[in-house]
């Protein structure tokens, strides 16, 4: 290949000897394949460098038609020119982004099959560049791209969708997408035979549209409870949101069915795509549709599909998505518990099958005779009163769901129990409906369903996903304890505490406990055994902790502790830290020696990360060795958008052979690398952005949980979850010391005062305190 030599500098074509001696030499390759050696002054702007190259190479076309790219086809800009010169990166003189945009739009409009696929393949990369995308949009490239998406299939469709997905990383340019485009993407995903390279970008597009809600637009914060949707300017990308996407999903009836079916796919990529879209729909569902979404997914048995994923050891990449789903389930449970019950109750009455019994008692003059229309109809099914909405006030729609599920699971058993209770003395009857609500309270307390959006579980909770089945078991256990202890109405708190004790034992270590052991624990335990264990527990636990005011206080302190730990993790990320760049171990390399992995050793094995003050970007630099990093971001030229991070899987890579970390399971010399327990990866919508190994467990916990807390308020490590729980318990004990020291009696409940005599009153606004 022919080579020449040239020198690029300030206006004078010849640089002083003292200056040229310290400027590295870069190679520059033209489109025709000609290579020149050039010394480029790093103080020049890129436009001047290109102009002088065109002048020295005697290129007749205007310099504005050209640009520089590095060996990885990344555009050379004023921001990275100095680094490319310093590291002697080979450069290429190519068409400018404006020229590439003009050519791309022309070929998209021509729609020639021979060139269209190649154009779309290049468009995936170029559309991430600001200079390119502005010219692309100005020349009408977006409508042409949409037409290709609506009419293509196979790899052409995959490239076009990926280009659109990359465009949507920007906060402008795609605010004119119509409902027909959203419908097309939904249709693509709802087709069962859609390949994975099409599913990935299509899923990401729908997720981005759901997240582009007017309430999330930059600007003044809007209360989530506000019904008014903030107006957006023409062309704003914040004009979509859940309601817009859900309307198109409902038109493509099979979309949710296909998503749930793909969770069982042997290809982990299909399962990950589907799980991420399901999580986005659940987490962004609006008040008008959240119940519809959750009910539709329940109909498709999505929880069972996720439980099966938990038992599949090969699905390690799904860990983050599964934990996200658990957090969404907690959110749904909380919303249903706090929502008023509005389902038809007639199913419960019909399943009881006591019409004939009550009519017989009425005709024979029984003392508890009752006609079908008697005002005491529901009391006979175990309610305290006939006001059913009031009966479910504590547990809301969740309580009614659980009772209905208990009834319909085994109607014969339910009818038998109701008849048994009616044949007892009134004071000895077990209040069945009340018992069901008590079990709901106990289960939500056990799984810390205190507030929406907060989940500190660091492990799988398959039994949480089987909430109704566990409720059915525990309610049956409640009835058996009531019968075996010959309880009366005054013994309701005692039986409830027995059930609470058994729930803690039966649901312990649920991530590794099979369902048949849980069933056996509830069904085989006798009253005497439970009572003896409970007496031992009471010696160690104050009954004060079980009172509702104390439980509410614990919930409040739990939220405060979580926020404290979250801020601590974020502060650690703002200070920054070094990580080793790990190496991936393909299955084909397992058990091979050190020599087989020589090519995978990173040339710059260290990376320093630092979170900026806005908490929007993660800045970093790679280095052969650890070097001093100044405060601020000047020494960190690269950055990663936090909003693009889709997962932070752990246990994903090994230490390179040239790095030693005792806490990270360094492999012995000459042996194949082993997976480090302190390793993690940062996966963004563009792919994996880095595989790293932490120096110690504390740094691993700070950063993995810090990244997840920034994304979706979720905790992955047991260390952080234990920290939150410990802070909560310490805070609770300190608060209770003030009360116990003053011998203040904490009531179980507070009686409601008399209603106001008239409407001549108002509620004052709450006082806001600022620091």
Record the pTM: 0.71
Query: What pLDDT score was predicted for residue 321?
Result: 87
Query: What pLDDT score was predicted for residue 746?
Result: 56
- Listed range (93-97, 342-346, 480-484) with the worst mean pLDDT: 342-346
Q: Which fold has domain 3-95?
A: Ubiquitin-like (UB roll) (3.10.20)
Are 249 and 298 within 8 A, CB to CB?
no
Distance separating alpha carbons of residues 674 and 144, to the nearest angstrom: 49
- Mean pLDDT across the stretch 434-441? 93
Query: What pLDDT score was predicted for residue 233?
Result: 77
Query: What pLDDT score was predicted for residue 72?
Result: 84
At which residue do the structure tokens 């009572």 appear? 531
- As beta bridge partners, residue 7 has 39
Residue 283 token pair: 């987490």
Residue 634 has pLDDT above 50, yes or no: yes
- Mean pLDDT across the stretch 677-702? 86
Distance separating alpha carbons of residues 386 and 508, to the nearest angstrom: 37
Spell out the domain ranges in the chain: 3-95, 99-215+236-315, 346-541, 559-720
- Listed range (32-46, 89-103, 461-475, 577-591) with the worst mean pLDDT: 577-591
Residue 89 has pLDDT above 60, yes or no: yes
Distance separating alpha carbons of residues 376 and 372, to the nearest angstrom: 9
- As beta bridge partners, residue 40 has 8
Query: What pLDDT score was predicted for residue 67?
Result: 92
Query: What pLDDT score was predicted for residue 372?
Result: 41
Q: Which of 592, 593, 694, 609 is nearest to 645 (CA)?
A: 609
Tens-place pLDDT, residues 28-73:
888 888 888 888 888 889 999 999 888 888 888 888 899 999 888 8
- Mean pLDDT across the stretch 357-361? 64
Q: Which fold has domain 559-720?
A: PH-domain like (2.30.29)
- Mean pLDDT across the stretch 83-110? 90
Distance separating alpha carbons of residues 162 and 123, to the nearest angstrom: 9
Residue 393 token pair: 């006030």
Please report the sign of the dihedral spanned by the C-alpha atoms of residue 583, residue 588, residue 592, residue 595: negative
- Mean pLDDT across the stretch 376-396? 81
Tens-place pLDDT, residues 703-759:
988 998 887 767 667 788 888 888 888 888 777 776 544 445 555 555 666 777 777
Q: Which fold has domain 99-215+236-315?
A: 1.25.10
Tens-place pLDDT, residues 18-28:
444 466 788 88
Query: What pLDDT score was predicted for residue 464?
Result: 93
- Mean pLDDT across the stretch 694-707? 90
- Mean pLDDT across the stretch 387-405? 87
Query: What pLDDT score was predicted for residue 297?
Result: 93
More confident residue, 456 or 214: 214
Average pLDDT across the chain, whole number = 82
Q: What is the DSSP letter of 455?
A: B
At which residue do the structure tokens 């205007």 appear? 62
Query: What pLDDT score was predicted for residue 218?
Result: 74
- Listed range (344-358, 424-438, 464-478) with the worst mean pLDDT: 344-358
Residue 374 has pLDDT above 50, yes or no: no
User: Please, which residues have CB within 8 angstroms of residue 525's CB and are 6 or more apart in sequence?
Assistant: 477, 502
- Mean pLDDT across the stretch 519-546? 78
- Listed range (57-71, 72-86, 208-222) with the worst mean pLDDT: 208-222
């Amino acid at each position: 290949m022919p080579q020449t030599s040239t020198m690029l500098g300030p206006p004078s074509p010849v640089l002083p000897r003292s200056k040229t001696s310290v400027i590295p030499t870069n190679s520059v390759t033209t489109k025709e394949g000609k290579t020149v050696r050039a010394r480029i002054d790093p103080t020049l702007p890129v436009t001047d460098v290109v102009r002088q190259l065109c002048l020295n190479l005697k290129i007749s076309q205007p310099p504005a038609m050209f640009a520089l790219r590095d060996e990885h086809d990344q555009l050379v800009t004023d921001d990275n020119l100095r680094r490319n010169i310093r590291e002697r990166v080979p450069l290429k003189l190519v068409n400018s982004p404006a020229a590439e945009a003009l050519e791309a739009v022309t070929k998209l409009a021509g729609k020639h099959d021979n060139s269209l696929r190649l154009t779309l393949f290049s468009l995936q990369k170029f559309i991430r560049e600001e200079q390119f995308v502005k010219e692309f949009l100005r020349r009408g490239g977006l409508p042409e791209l949409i037409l290709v998406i609506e009419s293509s299939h196979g790899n052409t469709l995959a490239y076009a969708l990926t280009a659109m997905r990359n465009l949507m990383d920007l906060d402008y340019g795609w605010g004119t997408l119509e409902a027909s485009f959203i419908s097309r993407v939904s249709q693509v995903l709802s087709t069962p035979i859609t390949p994975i390279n099409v599913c990935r970008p299509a899923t990401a597009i729908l997720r981005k549209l759901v997240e582009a809600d007017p309430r999330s637009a930059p600007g003044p914060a809007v209360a989530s409870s506000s019904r008014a949707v903030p107006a957006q300017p023409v062309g704003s990308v914040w004009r979509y949101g859940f309601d817009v996407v859900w309307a198109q999903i409902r038109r493509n009836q099979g979309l949710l069915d296909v998503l749930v079916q793909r969770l069982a796919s042997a290809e982990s990529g299909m399962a990950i795509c589907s799980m991420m879209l399901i999580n986005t729909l659940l987490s962004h569902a609006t008040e008008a549709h959240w119940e519809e979404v959750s009910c539709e997914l329940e109909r498709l048995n999505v929880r069972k599909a996720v439980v099966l994923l938990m038992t599949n050891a090969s699905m390690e990449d799904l860990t983050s998505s599964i934990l996200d789903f658990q957090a969404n389930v907690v959110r749904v449970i909380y919303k249903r518990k706090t929502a008023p019950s509005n389902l038809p109750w007639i199913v419960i009455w019909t399943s009881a099958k006591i019409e004939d019994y009550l009519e017989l008692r009425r005709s024979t003059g029984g003392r508890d005779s009752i006609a079908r229309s008697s005002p005491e109809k529901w009391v006979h099914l175990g309610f305290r009163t006939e006001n059913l909405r009031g009966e479910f006030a504590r547990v809301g729609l969740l309580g009614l769901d659980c009772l209905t599920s208990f009834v319909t699971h085994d109607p014969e058993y339910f009818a038998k129990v109701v008849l048994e209770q009616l044949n007892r003395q009134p004071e000895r009857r077990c209040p069945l409906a009340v018992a069901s609500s008590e079990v709901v309270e106990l289960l939500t307390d056990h799984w810390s369903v205190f507030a929406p959006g907060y989940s500190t579980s660091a492990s799988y909770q398959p039994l949480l996903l089987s909430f109704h089945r566990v409720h059915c078991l525990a309610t049956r256990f409640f009835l058996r304890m009531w019968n075996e202890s010959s309880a009366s109405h005054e013994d309701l708190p005692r039986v409830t505490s027995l059930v609470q004790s058994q729930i803690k034992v039966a649901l312990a270590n649920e991530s590794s406990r099979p369902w048949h052991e849980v069933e056996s624990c509830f069904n085989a335990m006798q009253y005497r055994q439970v009572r003896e264990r409970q007496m031992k527990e009471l010696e160690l636990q104050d009954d004060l902790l079980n009172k509702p005011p104390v439980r509410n206080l614990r919930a409040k302190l739990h939220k405060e502790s979580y926020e404290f730990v979250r801020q601590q993790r974020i502060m650690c990320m703002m200070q920054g830290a070094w990580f080793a760049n790990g190496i991936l171990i393909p299955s084909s390399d397992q058990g091979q020696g050190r020599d087989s992995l020589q090519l995978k050793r990173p040339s710059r094995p260290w990376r320093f990360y630092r979170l900026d003050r806005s908490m929007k970007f993660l800045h970093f630099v790679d280095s052969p060795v650890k070097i001093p990093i100044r405060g601020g971001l000047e020494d960190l030229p690269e950055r990663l958008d936090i909003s693009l991070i889709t997962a932070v899987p752990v246990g994903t890579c090994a230490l390179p052979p040239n790095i030693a970390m005792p806490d990270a399971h360094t492999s012995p010399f000459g042996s194949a690398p082993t997976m480090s327990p302190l390793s993690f990866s940062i996966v963004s919508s563009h792919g994996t952005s880095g595989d790293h190994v932490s120096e110690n467990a504390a740094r691993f916990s700070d950063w993995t949980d810090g990244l997840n807390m920034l994304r979706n308020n979720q905790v992955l490590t047991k260390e952080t979850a234990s920290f939150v729980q410990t802070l909560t318990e310490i805070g609770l004990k300190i608060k209770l010391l003030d009360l116990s020291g003053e011998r203040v009696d904490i009531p179980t409940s507070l009686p409601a005062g008399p209603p106001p005599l008239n409407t001549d009153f108002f509620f004052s606004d709450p006082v806001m305190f600022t620091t």
